[in-house]
Amino acid sequence: MDMDDSINVYGEVLQSCSEEPMTGFFRDGCCNTNEQDGGSHTVCVEVTDEFLEYSRFRGNDLSTAMPEFGFPGLQAGDRWCLCAARWLEAQEQDMAPRVFMQRTHIKALDIIPMELLRKFAVDLN
C-alpha cells in the first residue's frame, strides 16, 4: 500500500503529529494519506474537550479508549490526525480545534481552503 508523498500544506517535509498517542491513517505518527484513506486523515489538530464532545455527538467517540484497536482515547491537549471533512464540519459549527500547519498533509487542501486553516493555525509561518 503506497503512501502519498509526505508533504505539508507549505510544500515542505511533513512533520510528525503525535506518537503519544500514535496517530495517522498508517499509525506512523504522521497525517500521511493515500487513496485507501477515504476519510482523508490529514489535519493535525490539538483536541479540546468541546471538540471531543462534538465529535462524540456526531457519532465518532474519540475520548473512549478501545484497547482492542490500540486506541487509548483522547484527552484535551492531545494531537490527532483528523479527517479533513470532519474538521471542516466542526469549523462550520464553531467547534473546530486548532491546527498544526507543518504537521498537516497537503492533501487537506483538497477539502479545506488554506486561508481557513491559517485562521486556526497554532504554528503559522
Q: Which of 124 and 54 is assigned the larger pLDDT?
A: 54
Residue 1, pLDDT score: 59
Residue 80, pLDDT > 80, answer yes
Q: What is the pLDDT of residues 9-40, one digit of tens each?
A: 999 999 999 999 999 999 999 999 999 999 99
Q: What is the pLDDT of residues 83-125, one digit of tens each?
A: 999 999 999 999 999 999 999 999 999 999 999 999 999 987 5
The distance in angstroms from the start CA to the end CA of the chain is 32
Question: In the 3-class helix/strand/coil scheme, how is 90-122 assigned residue by residue?
Answer: HHHCCCCCEECHHHCEHHHHHCCCHHHHHHCEC
| pLDDT band, very low/low/confident/very high, at 2 (cuts 50, 70, 90) | confident
Residue 60, pLDDT > 60, answer yes
Residue 61, pLDDT > 60, answer yes
CA–CA separation, 112 and 24 (whole Å): 18
The stretch 5-12 carries a mean pLDDT of 96
The stretch 70-92 carries a mean pLDDT of 95
Query: Domain limits of the chain?
Result: 1-125
* Amino acid at the residue 49: D
Residue 14, pLDDT score: 98
* Assigned superfamily of 1-125: Protein of unknown function DUF2237 (3.30.56.110)
